Structure 1
Amino acid sequence: MTHLDGAQGATAYVGRFAPSPSGPLHFGSLVAALGSYLDAHAHQGQWLVRIEDIDTPRVRPGADSDILNTLEAYGLHWHGEVIWQSQRLERYAEVSEQLTQQGLVYACQCTRKEIKALGGIYNGHCRNLHLSGEHLALRLKQEQPIYHYLDALQGRVDIAAAEAEEDYIIKRRDGLFAYQLVVVIDDIDQGITHVVRGADLLIPTARQIGLFQQLGHKAPEYLHLPLAVASPGFKLSKQNYAPAIDKQNPQPALVDALHFLGFAPPPELLSYPVADILNWAHQAYQRPALRRALEVQVSEDALGNTLIQQL
């Protein structure tokens, strides 16, 4: 498997939504999906969907189908075919081998516990040990450190030097390819030009930009949306058992997501069909309206109906 017959070259803007199938879509996922969908359509671009199921221990059976059904219930229809990372292992192995042949990859035996004891940043201990054998991680030599980049919403994002220069894992000890590798390969193969997603990925984005450069490709433009949190610092996520959004009655969550993104939908939109709500959103959408606060709070008793409360 090499490159996808995707959207590359077909349009000036190719965006994507890439959920992990570790549970149903929750309100935070809807915000990311809606933000990326609206931004793609505002630029007359394509909006692709990718299922990021590379971390197989976290995958829940049937969650991918549920996610796709939920997107359809909310009127968020994608272009082209959905791809699954689990079907692209040969491609990831091909790029990993390419980097290895370039002398950019080495085996590492250091455990998370050992690295944590050193302050949480890997110090390059195994870089020149020439280790081989089973149950070793593979690390990429960081030769393209990114110390800062410009986010389309957050502005300049600065990265601490130690983190920017850290050699990071591209294949785990359990044999699974790491997210930082596969997300870049997927974005290259799908011709992604713009990435709109949650601000929890602000710092990891720097590594992805560096990997694009190492692979000889231009990185997409990034726009990181504010996060929905249940309480300060407590991100809504599948791991935190955030409640699923309602597929049977999508209007309330859809309107709340528009409020969250900084728009002012009229109250009567709640009684409109989903298609009409999205038509209103298409006309109202402007990047400057996106809320610049890094966190908002979803009140605990409102988790069932996704009412938003500004911190």
Structure 2
Amino acid sequence: MKPPVARLAPSPTGILHVGNARSLMWAWLSARARKGRVYLRVEDLLPGAREHVASVLEDLVWLGLDWDPPPELSPGRASCGDFSDIAADRADFVMQSQRTDLYRGLLARLNEAGLVYPCVCTRKDIALASRAPHVEDKARAYPGTCRGRFTDEGQAFRWETARSLRQGRSPSGVALRMKAPHEGVSFRDEFRGTMRIDVATDSGDFVIRKKDQHFAYMFAVVVDDLEMGVTEVLRGDDLLECTAQQLVVYRALIEHTSARSWPGKPAALQVPQWVHVPLVLGADGRRLAKRDRSIHVRQLADSGISAPQLRAWMAKSMGLPETGDLQQLLAAWPATTLNPEAVVFTADETLGA
């Protein structure tokens, strides 16, 4: 079996917290224990995300995690030294915000194949449609209002512009939605086994480019993983349900493009293996939130917790030996005895108080 190709994909929408750090270390250990490559991709598509890039890089350095240079021809390469002196000696990484031309070109291919369509629906429009008498009470999927409604994006924009003038507001733009298949989508997760999700019922046709022209997470990460040749995606199980939507995009891109046409020249376009790991919860039993400063990696470091201490706690929570020595953890890495349950984190526990 070939060594895996994995990625660390932090989203710098806030300061890195313990839950993020644990998932990143888990992904790193899984790949490095099998002599695999690890790429770093900063998912900074949202406005304002760039301001946290330096702190994310420095937190990864503090945790002791390294990464490999991205494929030579991959667009959006960035130098760590441009953001942080502390991380200056680390390999280059990829920034989503610098890959919009790549996303735009591949979206055009899906549009040519008739797999996407323009949508002018507002949240209010969708909510009203979901409350219609013929719609089930529990329905939360997009009802398909704009599927087949417009011949192209230009017509949709003209319609939205006319509506906005009637309502005395600025046009809100046009989104692009991916058509959901009628049949369910199946995939295997290393923790959950075989999963089957009916995208059409669960979410309906989903947005892959927003009204503000920013590309949606569902689309960008699939393009990135295909282009970078990623073979293993390890992330928190809060993203389990969106895997089916991403598979719809994977299969469409694999069917309607060829590896030779991609800038990174991947050896092949392939769907990765999925590993959705249990989350870290706070003392209240809820998933950790970036707004809680007490669980920020930076805050813990400033309060006196060392990187080996935090790594030891994270290792124990995964079902590994309680040590902060990464080489010992790589040597002990098992494939079958990892902890499948969510864990609770408190700073006092980590400090040993």
User: TM-score, normalised on structure 2?
Assistant: 0.74
Show CA shifts across 1:192-211 (max 9, x none): 01111110111101111221
Deviation larger for 144-153 or 122-131: 144-153
- What is the identity, as a one-letter code, of the residue corresponding to 1:168? F
Among 9, 16, 40, the alignment partner of 1:49 is 40
- Say whether residues 1:297 and 2:288 are aligned partners: no
What is the DSSP-based 3-state SS (H/G/I as helix, E as strand, rest coil) of the residue aligned with 1:56? coil
- What is the identity, as a one-letter code, of the residue corresponding to 1:45? G
Identify if the C-alpha distance between structure 1 residues 153 and 26 changes in structure 2 by more than 3 Å, giving closer, same or farther.
same
Compute the displacement of 1:108 (Å): 0.8
Contact 1:37 1:76 in 2 (8 A): yes
Contact 1:146 1:209 in 2 (8 A): no
State, as a whole percentage, how many aligned pairs show the same letter.
31
Contact 1:144 1:214 in 2 (8 A): no
Among 67, 72, 77, the alignment partner of 2:56 is 67
Contact 2:13 2:46 in 1 (8 A): no
Compute the displacement of 1:234 (Å): 2.0
Matched with 2:7 is 16
- Say whether residues 1:204 and 2:204 are aligned partners: no
Matched with 2:307 is 250
Alignment of 1:129-278 (within 5 A): 129-130=149-150, 131-133=155-157, 135-143=173-181, 146-160=184-198, 162-163=200-201, 166-216=204-254, 217-231=269-283, 234-238=286-290, 243-245=295-297, 246-247=300-301, 249-265=306-322, 269=323, 277-278=325-326
What is the DSSP-based 3-state SS (H/G/I as helix, E as strand, rest coil) of the residue aligned with 2:310? helix
Over the residues paired in the alignment, what is the CA RMSD in angstroms?
2.3
- Measured in 1, the distance between the counterparts of 2:53 and 2:183 equals 34
Q: How many residues are treated as equivalent by the alignment?
A: 283
Contact 1:14 1:47 in 2 (8 A): yes
What is the DSSP-based 3-state SS (H/G/I as helix, E as strand, rest coil) of the residue aligned with 1:128? coil
What is the DSSP-based 3-state SS (H/G/I as helix, E as strand, rest coil) of the residue aligned with 1:292? coil
- Say whether residues 1:285 and 2:296 are aligned partners: no
Identify if the C-alpha distance between structure 1 residues 165 and 235 changes in structure 2 by more than 3 Å, giving closer, same or farther.
closer
- Measured in 1, the distance between the counterparts of 2:199 and 2:284 equals 27
Unmatched segments (≥5 aa) in structure 2? 70-91, 131-138, 158-170, 255-268
Show CA shifts across 1:223-265 (max 9, x none): 0110001156621132555631144621221111001111132
What is the DSSP-based 3-state SS (H/G/I as helix, E as strand, rest coil) of the residue aligned with 1:50? strand
Matched with 1:7 is none
What is the DSSP-based 3-state SS (H/G/I as helix, E as strand, rest coil) of the residue aligned with 2:108? helix
- What is the identity, as a one-letter code, of the residue corresponding to 2:219? L
The structure whose RCO (Cα within 8 Å, separation 6+) is larger is 1
User: TM-score, normalised on structure 1?
Assistant: 0.84
Matched with 2:17 is 26
Show CA shifts across 1:115-172 (max 9, x none): 3451321011100110521611110112485433110122122324544672110111
- Say whether residues 1:93 and 2:145 are aligned partners: no
Identify if the C-alpha distance between structure 1 residues 242 and 144 changes in structure 2 by more than 3 Å, giving closer, same or farther.
farther
What is the DSSP-based 3-state SS (H/G/I as helix, E as strand, rest coil) of the residue aligned with 1:122? coil
Show CA shifts across 1:277-298 (max 9, x none): 10110011112121112x2222
Contact 1:23 1:60 in 2 (8 A): no
Larger Rg: 2
